[in-house]
Amino acid sequence: VVQKNSSEFSRIAGIARLLDQGRGRGVIVGIGDDAAVLRAQPGRLVWTTDSSVQDVHFRCDILSMQDIGWRSYHAAVSDIAAMGAKALAALSALELPVALPDRSVYAIVEGQASAAKWLKCPLVGGNLSRADKIAINTSVLGCVDAPILRSKAQVGDELWLIGPVGMAAAGLGCLLREGPRLRGHAVECCVEAFRRPMALLRQGKGLVGRANSAIDISDGLAGDAAHIAESSRVAVELDERQLSASLPDELLTVAKKLRRTALSFALYGGEDYSLLATGPKVKRPRGAVCIGRIIKGKGVWLVRSDGAREALGRGFEHFGN
């Protein structure tokens, strides 16, 4: 017996219930009209959109539907965190295969709803569409008096890491590894970092008035450092010793189990959604670790422990050949 799905309209009603109709601070009309209506905000509006596509950004065999909803939401809100802004609300356009049962759809929305609650950023509307594969497109609106841009890094700035890097990629490595499943606390930590990343809104706001530039680390440290370098027309120098010292023990443990270096996960593993920022030493906020500096020039450089300098390639590209 093929389970019948509810119609589009009753599905929207079910989704709206899970999301408390999109209610929240500053929300005048949530789910159910042509558009959501929000109270206007002072300062600047910051606004982003992010896609999470099945078999590109996630696989359904290693993540629960709730994880998929949670991750997509945090990934999108993370761009708002990187601007130093407050997240006001989000919209979600879901693409859903016809065969996807109601319980899976609602589980995705439950993951989004938990993330919305955690981040105090209500999901106020969206769109449903058929498609061959699941895709979640999340648009997030935020506000801040003076957004932090990726293009304002200054020569002489320190390079700050806020939050862990490489953990999510190591967690993914554990999940994809053939053979018996790896176990232990360190593995659980990395898998959790992959399944349940966190947008660092509070830490992002803490950068305002301190950082000259910031970006969230979605493509990997090397790739996102390259974005700062290119936008700001400077070079980024990563200090291997400082970076290595900042890596969590759990990452070192898991990297060893996977026969990879922790540094490679840190440099090229994406999807931790930690923040990378630059600013003067005297303004370094608590919780930020200095892992390098901004110098004149181009590109991203790794200064090895022995003093050797090495140009770094970029992280993940979607259409590279």
Site for its own copies in 286-315 (CB under 8 A): 314
239 forms part of the interface with its own copies (CB under 8 A): no
Q: What is the dihedral of CA 129, 56, 173, 73, to 10 degrees?
A: -40
Between 234 and 254, CB nearer to its own copies: 234
The length of the chain in residues reads: 321
Stretch that binds its own copies, among 41-49, 164-172, 176-184, 244-252 (CB under 8 A): 41-49
321 forms part of the interface with its own copies (CB under 8 A): yes
Q: How far apart are CA 195 and CA 165, in angstroms?
A: 14
Stretch that binds its own copies, among 59-67, 92-100, 111-119, 194-202 (CB under 8 A): 92-100
Q: In the bound complex, what is the minimum distance in angstroms from residue 256's beta carbon to its own copies?
A: 32
260 forms part of the interface with its own copies (CB under 8 A): no
Within a 10 A sphere around the Cβ of 132, how many other Cβ atoms?
10
Q: Looking at this protein, which amino acid is placed at residue 52?
A: S
Q: In the bound complex, what is the minimum distance in angstroms from residue 198's beta carbon to its own copies?
A: 16
Kindly tell me which residue out of 108, 165, 186, 215 binds its own copies, with binding defined by CB under 8 A.
215
Between 98 and 282, CB nearer to its own copies: 98
5 forms part of the interface with its own copies (CB under 8 A): yes
1 forms part of the interface with its own copies (CB under 8 A): no
Q: How far apart are CA 186 and CA 267, in angstroms?
A: 19
Stretch that binds its own copies, among 31-39, 61-69, 177-185, 303-311 (CB under 8 A): 31-39
Q: In the bound complex, what is the minimum distance in angstroms from residue 317's beta carbon to its own copies?
A: 5
Q: How far apart are CA 321 and CA 219, in angstroms?
A: 17
CB within 8 Å of 308: residues ≥ 6 apart: none
318 forms part of the interface with its own copies (CB under 8 A): yes
Q: In the bound complex, what is the minimum distance in angstroms from residue 172's beta carbon to its own copies?
A: 17
82 forms part of the interface with its own copies (CB under 8 A): yes
Cα–Cα distance list, 112 to 121, 139, 220, 245, 249 (Å): 10, 13, 24, 34, 30
142 forms part of the interface with its own copies (CB under 8 A): yes
191 contacts 174 by C-beta, under 8 angstroms: yes
Q: How far apart are CA 36 and CA 272, in angstroms?
A: 30
Between 149 and 303, CB nearer to its own copies: 149
| Residue in 257, 259, 290, 255 with CA at minimum distance from that of residue 269 | 255
